[in-house]
Structure 1
Amino acid sequence: MAAEPRTPAGRWVGAALSSYGLLVLIVATVFGGLDRQILVLLAEPMRQSLQLTDTKLGLLQGAGITLLGGVAAVPLGWLADRYGRRSVLAASVLVWAVATAAFGMATDFPALLLAAAGMGIGEVGLSPIVFSLIPEIVSPRRRVLANGVYALAAIFGTGLGIALSGAMVHSLDALRPLLPAALQGLESWRLTFLAVALQGPLVALAVLLIRLHPQRASSQSASTATARPALRDYARAHLRCMVGVFGGSGLAGLGLAASGNWLPVIATRSFGADAAAVGQGMGAAYLLGTAAGAAMGALGMRLLGQRLGLALPMRVTAIGAGLAALAAGLMPLAPNMGTLYLLFGVQVMALIAGSVLMPTLLQDMAPVDLRSRLIAIASVVSVLLGALSPVLVGALSDLLSATPQGLLMAVTLVGALAFALAALLMKSAEQAVAATVQSIHPHLVRQDPI
């Protein structure tokens, strides 16, 4: 294994290349999620423009952009493990950009659903490959720190993207007279999707310029000469661990998506808020919740890491899911949108506390040559469960349409139940997860501090 550069210049160059790679992964992740944020913020004007039902909106947010795209996660993970993670990641970004532009030009629901599937295919390739690339662009001793920086920056970027998406809509309307004549007559939601798609090729080029850490590049070359572990053998030996981690995380995401996808619709439909105001409210709740959750996660690692050891991420996530279930259950009692934003922020805070610890756990529980595929399977489970969230809420809302708060009640029921199930599943799998990690990395006995 190659040694790390020892000269000051070599260390500086290595740190700069690692920082560049991490920054590009963050940018790619933020851009990959912008289409979802814009779809949430502009759901109501898009629904009115194309005369969509809540069920169809739920299908676009769930089955379209996540469920159909999730089918590609494992094949993309296999391609990334075998042929190069940077190339597959760049290709995923380009697919996402083309599909996002197509979504903005769609004229009916089938075209929207097809474009959303393309967006999902491009987006779902990001997470497994990004988490697999991080150990390859930073030194082993800085991996936990890099995971934490990436997770927090990507999460903060998502919250910032929510806020900026609303501002983008307003800015594009102001710039409409300067646009080409063919674009001036387009609706605001269409212009916004087209503007975001234009950034895709630049992000893809930046991905291709990422350089691997010398230690990781040499270990990759050595691994090609050895037998690759079989995915089925791993799954057979560690099924309980996989169910606990993947299922618990997916259920927690399902619960958060119930609020995140539909509170903007509630704000627009029931409280008359515009896209810019909703973006600011949701963005502030997300950013503040993320900051508080990150602090709680770091504090939990320092206070409980020695006692809980490898079970720490599961315990923190289980406690957070329980708190999120309580916050979701209180939403029907909220007198205004400000209170709903606050309760959404509590849900974000509770789940982020565990989420910042999960990337390192996902890397540790996977052999190197299975890393992209295992993280892809985790993404597929999250995609499948997350896709159910908007569909369940939309269908339940249509059933409860005669009640004054039908949509809010649907959000509450789906969210609270999903959070509670996630907490139970995570807590029950703690020992299985610790045993899996130690079987792959016998030297690991505790969580390293961030």
Structure 2
Amino acid sequence: MLMIANSLAFVDRQILAFLIEPIQRDFNVSDTGMSLIYGFSFTLFYVAAGIPLAWLADRSNRRNIAAGSILFWSLATSACGLASSYVGLFVARIGVGAGESGLGPASYSLLSDYFPREKLATALGLYQAGIYVGGAIALIFGGLFAATIAPGDHMNLPLIGPTAGWQLIFLLLGIPGILLSLIVWLAVREPLRKTPPPQIRAPIQGQEDINAGAPAKGESFYDAFRQLNAHRRFYLGLIGGFTLLIFVGSGTAAWIPAFLAREYGMSLADIGRYYGIIMLICGLSGCLVGGMLASAMRKGQLRHGNLVAPLIGSSCLIPCTIAFPLMPTASLALAVIGAMNFFGGFNLGGGLASLLEMTPPRLRAQISMTYVIAVNVLGGTLGPLAIALMTDYVFQDPADLGQAIAIICAIASPLAVIAIVSALRPMKTQLAGMAAAT
């Protein structure tokens, strides 16, 4: 059920990338302006709402937080369809970001209490597969819709009045989330919070056990900061590495539909059909294979196997992210995009499992929110923006979007691998200490 919710969240995110071209025409907006709606508007209140919601998730019912988040962002998605100006759409996207900020930390904390450490990477890989399932649904649905009613066409709707095709898509996408919020509230069980291993309970030698006390009690922001500081080499390496991966992933996801249209003349219907199917098959399989590999290595002799799997995937991503925008034909570009989606999904389960395994249970929502803020504010916002700025101000030609993507990815993808490598040694050391203490 949580995976379905995550899928729906990424339907609402990815549909904007699919609709960039008709929205640009209606509002006369540059690539940079669209990147601000895609990234900055979304993360503006994602952070402001996410921090207190993560704090609350460490102290209260996480299922209720997830259900309320789904309802709020679904209403905001429909509000995007009522926007009649760039500013109105910007404000509605702020609401989408504020709503989605509560799902991730609550879900990560729930899953870490549902599953043992040896199976957590597989479970998280399945949950994170929602990124690709949701993105694919947005593309396929948008493509089918575009084949019937062009997103740039306009019509008169009862009670609403003049409406563009892209606005109707947003209005319709809000409905499933309203229903799903009720299902999550009724069907998802709130589990007991687990007791952490001794080495995780007391991260700073000589200080009291920050997890002692009543099971329902959460920890303060200071306790979360203390945990991050005690293991800063690990957290900086992992969060920094995945921020760079999301920088690349969000940047390419935001601009691939526009790139395919500008570079190869593909219609929106064809982009939705072909790119959507590729994202579904390759991204989903990458999440599952990567998660299962991480779990298998973690269950075997490689205690830090949860982080080795993302290192493999991120290394394979480097040539894919640089090569796809330089392919001479749409077919070759889509083939390399498929490989990129596979290895992008390959990283997610093991990376999140590493983060949660190294974090005390009653700090997981707050520290996972630190991760979520970093990957969304720095990765999700700056990735699309960097590509747009390169296109608008360096090349000064929308037709050079492919070259802008290739240059940005050539810088960020190798840096992501370096950061993940830096997290391996402190993780190995900490896990060895945990094993000796049990």
> What TM-score comes out, normalization by structure 2 length?
0.85
The superposition leaves residues 290-322 of structure 1 with CA deviations (integer Å, 9 ceiling, x where unpaired) of 255246526744885578723323333233223
Q: Which residue of 1 aligns with 2:177?
A: 200
> Is residue 2:376 matched to residue 1:416?
no
SS in 1 for 2:129: helix
| Counterpart among 224, 235, 249 of residue 242 in structure 1 | 235
Q: Which residue of 1 aligns with 2:205?
A: none
| Counterpart among 360, 371, 378 of residue 364 in structure 2 | 371
Q: Which residue of 2 aligns with 1:313?
A: 306
| Counterpart among 22, 40, 46 of residue 63 in structure 1 | 40
Q: Which amino acid aligns with 2:422?
A: S
The superposition leaves residues 37-67 of structure 1 with CA deviations (integer Å, 9 ceiling, x where unpaired) of 1101111001001111111001011101235
| Counterpart among 384, 388, 396 of residue 390 in structure 2 | 396
Partners of 1:39 and 1:213 in 2: how far apart? 33
Instruction: Confirm or deny: 8 A CA contact 1:328 1:412 kept in the other structure.
Output: yes
Change (3 A) 1:77 1:348: same
Q: Which amino acid aligns with 1:223?
A: P
237-246 vs 178-187, which deviates more?
A: 178-187
Q: Which residue of 2 aligns with 1:6?
A: none
Partners of 2:70 and 2:187 in 1: how far apart? 14
The superposition leaves residues 70-108 of structure 1 with CA deviations (integer Å, 9 ceiling, x where unpaired) of 333222100111222112212211221222122111122
Partners of 1:389 and 1:323 in 2: how far apart? 19
Partners of 2:109 and 2:273 in 1: how far apart? 33
Q: Which amino acid aligns with 2:187?
A: I
The superposition leaves residues 85-140 of structure 1 with CA deviations (integer Å, 9 ceiling, x where unpaired) of 11221221122122212211112222221111111111222211111112345678
SS in 2 for 1:186: strand
> Is residue 2:215 matched to residue 1:223?
yes
Partners of 1:444 and 1:40 in 2: how far apart? 49
Cα shift at 1:437: 4.8
Partners of 1:130 and 1:37 in 2: how far apart? 20
Q: What are the within-5 Å matches in structure 2 for residues 16-55 of structure 1?
A: 23=1, 25-55=2-32
In the alignment, structure 2 segments of 5+ residues that lack a partner are 197-210
Cα shift at 1:381: 0.5
Q: Which amino acid aligns with 1:310?
A: R
RMSD after superposition: 3.3
In the alignment, structure 1 segments of 5+ residues that lack a partner are 1-22, 446-450
Partners of 2:92 and 2:298 in 1: how far apart? 44
Change (3 A) 1:411 1:213: same
Cα shift at 1:281: 2.1
Change (3 A) 1:438 1:204: farther
> Is residue 2:263 matched to residue 1:270?
yes
Q: What are the within-5 Å matches in structure 2 for residues 38-437 of structure 1?
A: 38-137=15-114, 143=120, 145-152=122-129, 155-170=132-147, 180-183=157-160, 185-212=162-189, 216=193, 222-224=214-216, 230-294=223-287, 296-297=289-290, 300-301=293-294, 305=298, 309-384=302-377, 385-402=379-396, 405-437=399-431
Partners of 2:296 and 2:117 in 1: how far apart? 24
Instruction: Confirm or deny: 8 A CA contact 2:294 2:308 kept in the other structure.
Output: no
Instruction: Confirm or deny: 8 A CA contact 1:255 1:419 kept in the other structure.
Output: yes
Cα shift at 1:286: 1.5
Instruction: Confirm or deny: 8 A CA contact 1:139 1:215 kept in the other structure.
Output: no
Instruction: Confirm or deny: 8 A CA contact 2:81 2:170 kept in the other structure.
Output: yes
Cα shift at 1:178: 12
209-218 vs 391-400, which deviates more?
A: 209-218
Q: Which amino acid aligns with 2:256?
A: L
Instruction: Confirm or deny: 8 A CA contact 2:289 2:346 kept in the other structure.
Output: yes
Q: Which amino acid aligns with 2:346?
A: A
Q: Which residue of 2 aligns with 1:12?
A: none
SS in 1 for 2:40: helix
Change (3 A) 1:211 1:51: closer
Change (3 A) 1:230 1:325: same
The number of residues matched between the two structures is 420
Partners of 1:444 and 1:44 in 2: how far apart? 57
The superposition leaves residues 381-426 of structure 1 with CA deviations (integer Å, 9 ceiling, x where unpaired) of 1012221011111111012445685211111111221111100110
Instruction: Confirm or deny: 8 A CA contact 1:104 1:189 kept in the other structure.
Output: yes
> What TM-score comes out, normalization by structure 1 length?
0.83
Instruction: Confirm or deny: 8 A CA contact 2:106 2:365 kept in the other structure.
Output: yes
